[in-house]
């Protein structure tokens, strides 16, 4: 952590104090031998004190140093050792001033000072003294301009990076919000379907109570089980709508057209359609292999989540690994454990040539869907090359109730 003094970095304050101390030392060291004696020393100490503020008030510091240098010239003391403060102030105003105009004005004033100072130097010919002071002053001004240009360039890069980071976070939050809206809409469809099943079964049971009590009891049991599942899905739906967008940075989605036909909006695919989905990705150029024991008897919402995870993972594979990549889709369900979905690719395809916008939000969407069902999602590179996506989704226990 960088330490500060009065809002300024400690290193900057220490450096400025060292510079001012060196100028003050020059002023005090010549108190006996230099022209002006103690009065000249006071002028030098005034310049040294002003240099302490050269970063935060460069124009004002330069004005103070210029006035003190003019006093020195008018007094006829000639250039002294502590006049290095003039060069330091000139460098500071060129580098730190808000407007370069201040640095240009300071350069003009310094040029006039060079002419006046050379007239008081005991050097012949005069033009040699003028040339020497002019070259030194001009070099300091140009160095300050070069450092100023680089400093402003670095500041612009930092500001651009900060702006891009804010835009990236805003885009990521928008992607998460959009994906949650999509999940909520699909869960709403699941709940609506369950309600429709409950109504049909309840109506059937009402008419069968007198003629076929066994079938009526089975219909009532289906109504109860469907109602419990619908209530659980409704809880998850409300949880999706209530959960705030994460405050931290989220990886924003990169979208490309994979060549796979998009599904219509407001359509709720079922897991029995998974072979057709894999076939579409095979037609798009992937070499897909499906292994494992397919999950059976899953709740509709969980079934939809498994389908979407496979769909998004294959989309990412086609987008990043490219056409021709080999993919293995593994679906497995332990008798008393979670559903495991694993998608592995070798990363040896040809990347797509013509990217364009498509639906889905990749890892963002998969993570949001898996989180809704209290599952775990891991994604990362494989040791031998390629990518692995693994999702583990707990299955709600089946509750048996007497009829």
Whether the CB-CB separation of 281 and 288 falls below 8 Å is answered with yes
**Residue 259 is assigned to a structural domain of this protein:** no
What is residue 380's DSSP assignment? E
**Residue 266 is assigned to a structural domain of this protein:** no
Residues contacting residue 294 through CB under 8 Å, at least 6 positions apart: 271, 274, 331, 333
Six-digit token pair at 302? 């969980």
* Domain shared by 10 and 110, yes or no: yes
End-to-end CA distance of the chain: 68
Task: Please choose, from the candidates 85, 9, 78, 80, the residue with its C-alpha nearest in 3D space to the C-alpha of residue 54.
Answer: 85
Task: Count Cβ atoms within 10 A of the Cβ of residue 399 and give its class: 0-12 exposed, 13-18 middle, 19 or more buried.
Answer: exposed
Six-digit token pair at 79? 């250039």
**How many separate domains does the chain show?**
3
* Domain shared by 78 and 22, yes or no: yes
Task: Count Cβ atoms within 10 A of the Cβ of residue 154 and give its class: 0-12 exposed, 13-18 middle, 19 or more buried.
Answer: exposed
* Domain shared by 322 and 380, yes or no: yes
State the pLDDT at residue 60: 92
**Residue 134 is assigned to a structural domain of this protein:** no
Which CATH number is 389's domain given? Answer: 3.30.565.10
Helices (H), 100-125: 100-119
For 84, the 3-state DSSP assignment is helix
For 97, the 3-state DSSP assignment is coil
Neighbouring-strand partners of residue 5? 8
358 φ, ψ (degrees, to nearest 5): -145, 170
d(CA 88, CA 54): 9
Residues of the chain with pLDDT under 70: 1-2, 5-7, 122-123, 187-188, 193, 233, 236-270, 293-296, 335-336, 351-361, 397-403
Residues contacting residue 347 through CB under 8 Å, at least 6 positions apart: 320, 321, 325, 382, 385, 386, 387
Neighbouring-strand partners of residue 333? 339
Domain boundary among the residues 66, 92, 122 is at: 122
d(CA 283, CA 260): 8
State the pLDDT at residue 297: 73
Give the whole-number percent of the chain exceeding pLDDT 70: 82
State the pLDDT at residue 105: 92
* Domain shared by 277 and 218, yes or no: no
* Domain shared by 199 and 284, yes or no: no
d(CA 95, CA 240): 53
State the pLDDT at residue 256: 43
State the pLDDT at residue 378: 92
State the pLDDT at residue 344: 93
* Domain shared by 177 and 232, yes or no: yes
**Residue 332 is assigned to a structural domain of this protein:** yes
- Residue keyed to tokens 């210029």: 66
HSE toward the beta carbon, residue 17, CA cutoff 13 A: 8
Q: From the centroid of its chain, how far is CA 389? A: 23
Per the document, the length of the chain is 403
* Domain shared by 10 and 75, yes or no: yes
State the pLDDT at residue 397: 67
- Residue keyed to tokens 């003190």: 68
HSE toward the beta carbon, residue 131, CA cutoff 13 A: 6
pTM (predicted TM-score):
0.48
* Domain shared by 231 and 308, yes or no: no
**Residue 371 is assigned to a structural domain of this protein:** yes
- Residue keyed to tokens 């998004």: 312
Domain boundary among the residues 122, 154, 178 is at: 122
* Helices vs strands, H then E, count in the chain: 10, 7
Range of the domain at 47: 4-122
State the pLDDT at residue 244: 59
Task: Please choose, from the candidates 175, 157, 154, the residue with its C-alpha nearest in 3D space to the C-alpha of residue 165.
Answer: 157
d(CA 288, CA 75): 92
Which CATH number is 200's domain given? Answer: 1.20.5
Three-state SS string across 224-289, please? HHHHHHHHHHHHHHHHHHHCCCCCCCCCCCCCCCCCCCCCCCCCCCCHHHHHHHHHHHHHHCCEEE
d(CA 187, CA 302): 10
């Amino acid at each position: 952590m960088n330490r500060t003094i009065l809002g300024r970095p400690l290193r900057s304050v220490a450096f400025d104090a060292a510079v001012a101390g060196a100028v003050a030392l020059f002023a005090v060291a010549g108190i006996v031998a230099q022209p002006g004696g103690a009065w000249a020393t006071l002028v030098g100490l005034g310049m040294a004190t002003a240099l302490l503020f050269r970063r935060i008030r460069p124009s004002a510091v330069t004005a103070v140093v210029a006035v003190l240098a003019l006093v020195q010239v008018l007094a006829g003391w000639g250039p002294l050792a502590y006049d290095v403060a003039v060069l330091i102030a000139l460098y500071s105003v060129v580098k730190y001033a808000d407007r370069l105009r201040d640095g240009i004005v300071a350069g003009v004033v310094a040029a006039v000072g060079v002419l006046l100072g050379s007239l008081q130097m005991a050097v012949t010919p005069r033009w040699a003294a003028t040339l020497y002071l002019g070259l030194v002053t001009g070099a300091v001004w140009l160095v300050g301009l070069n450092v100023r240009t680089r400093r402003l360039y670095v500041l612009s890069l930092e500001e651009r990076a900060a702006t891009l980071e804010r835009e990236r976070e805003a885009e990521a939050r928008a992607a998460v919000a959009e994906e949650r809206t999509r999940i909520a809409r699909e869960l709403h469809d699941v709940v609506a379907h369950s309600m429709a099943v409950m109504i049909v079964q309840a109506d059937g049971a009402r008419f069968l109570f007198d003629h076929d009590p066994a079938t009526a009891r089975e219909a009532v049991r289906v109504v109860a089980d469907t109602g419990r599942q619908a209530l659980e899905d409704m809880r998850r739906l409300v949880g999706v709508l209530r959960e705030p967008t994460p405050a931290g940075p989220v990886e924003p989605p990169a979208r490309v057209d994979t060549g796979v036909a998009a599904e219509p909006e407001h359509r709720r695919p079922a897991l029995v359609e998974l072979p057709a989905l894999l076939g579409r990705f095979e037609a798009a150029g992937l070499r897909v292999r499906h292994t494992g024991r397919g999950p059976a008897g899953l709740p509709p919402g969980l079934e939809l989540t498994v389908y979407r995870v496979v769909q998004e993972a294959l989309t990412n594979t086609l987008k990043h690994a490219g056409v021709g990549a080999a993919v293995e889709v593994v679906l497995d369900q332990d008798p008393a454990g979670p559903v495991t979905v694993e998608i592995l690719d070798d990363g040896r395809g040809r990347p797509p040539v013509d990217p364009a916008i498509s639906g889905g939000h990749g890892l963002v969407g998969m993570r949001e869907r898996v989180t809704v069902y209290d599952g775990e999602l891991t994604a990362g590179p494989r040791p031998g090359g390629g990518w692995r996506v693994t999702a583990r989704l707990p299955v709600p226990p089946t509750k048996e109730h007497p009829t």
